[in-house]
Amino acid sequence: MSPFLAMLRRDLRISARTGGSILTVALFFTLVGALMPFAVGPDRALLARLGPGIVWIAALLALLIAIDRLFRADHEDGTLAALRLAPISLEAIVFAKLIAHWLLTALPLIVITPLLAVLFGLDGDATLRLLLTLLIGTPSLTAFAAIGGALTVSIGRGGLLAPVLILPLCVPTLIFGVAAATPGLPGSDGAALLYLAAFTLLALVIAPFAAALALKMAAD
């Protein structure tokens, strides 16, 4: 087995064992989405128009609360030092962890999204568009989460610092994601989706290097 796959399998296995954490993020996402109609009021047309934006905000918030899970445990029990002596680079290890983290936090949210779409009265077409934008856009959020998690790994209880650091980075994802998912917004004919994909690719390229650098500095 390649070191990359070994890393991926270990992270998936640990999360599967401590299944509660996957469920917490998914429930948080569902609850934030389900609370919005109470705040906005029972206006079907308005909810259908705001639906994609609310789902995107709920996904963003849910992914933020999971940031600490990426590197903190490995930093605190000494695993990170031993990982740095693996025959693959720390950047590759970060990328493997990033994939595992996306599969365990963002993918469950995408699976639940049709449920929220029903709640907002989105039709089938709008639901599919929303799912597509989430599928393409959430990897960039996970990439930024990796940077935030790595930067705050040595700060005792980093808590809210990482979200504050990375929220500004998530603005383009949110703009293009919501634009591509909401009919009638500028760019919803396809341009926004392409920008979203480009931004995700950019984030995925930068994040492993930035996060690995931050982790090395944290050990120094």
Partner 1 sequence: MSAPAAFPPVALTVEGLACRRGDLEVFAGVSFTLAPGAALLVTGENGAGKSTLLMALAGLLRPTAGRIQWSGLGPDMLPRDSIHHLGHLSAVKPSLTVAENLGFWRDLYGLGDIGPALAQSGLAGLAHFPAGFLSAGQMRRLGLARLAAVPRPVWLVDEPATGLDEAGAAWVNRLIAAHLDRGGIAVVATHQRLALTGVAETLSLAGRRAA
Question: Using CB under 8 A as the criterion, which residues of the chain lie in contact with partner 1 when the complex forms?
Answer: 1, 3, 5-7, 9-10, 13-14, 17-18, 76-79, 81-87, 219-220
To partner 1, the closest distance from the beta carbon of 13 in angstroms equals: 7
CA–CA dist 142, 202 (Å, integer): 13
To partner 1, the closest distance from the beta carbon of 18 in angstroms equals: 5
Nearer to partner 1, 14 or 103 (CB): 14
Nearer to partner 1, 74 or 177 (CB): 74
Q: From the centroid of its chain, how far is CA 131?
A: 14
To partner 1, the closest distance from the beta carbon of 74 in angstroms equals: 8
Among residues 105, 91, 89, the alpha carbon closest in space to that of 211 is found at: 91
**Residue 42, C-beta contacts closer than 8 angstroms, at least 6 positions apart:** none
Amino acid residing at 123: D
Nearer to partner 1, 18 or 164 (CB): 18
Nearer to partner 1, 46 or 82 (CB): 82
Under 8 Å between Cβ of 213 and 153:
no
Please name the residue ranges forming H helices in the chain: 3-17, 20-40, 44-65, 72-76, 79-83, 90-101, 107-119, 124-151, 161-166, 171-181, 191-219
To partner 1, the closest distance from the beta carbon of 85 in angstroms equals: 5
To partner 1, the closest distance from the beta carbon of 86 in angstroms equals: 5
Nearer to partner 1, 18 or 27 (CB): 18
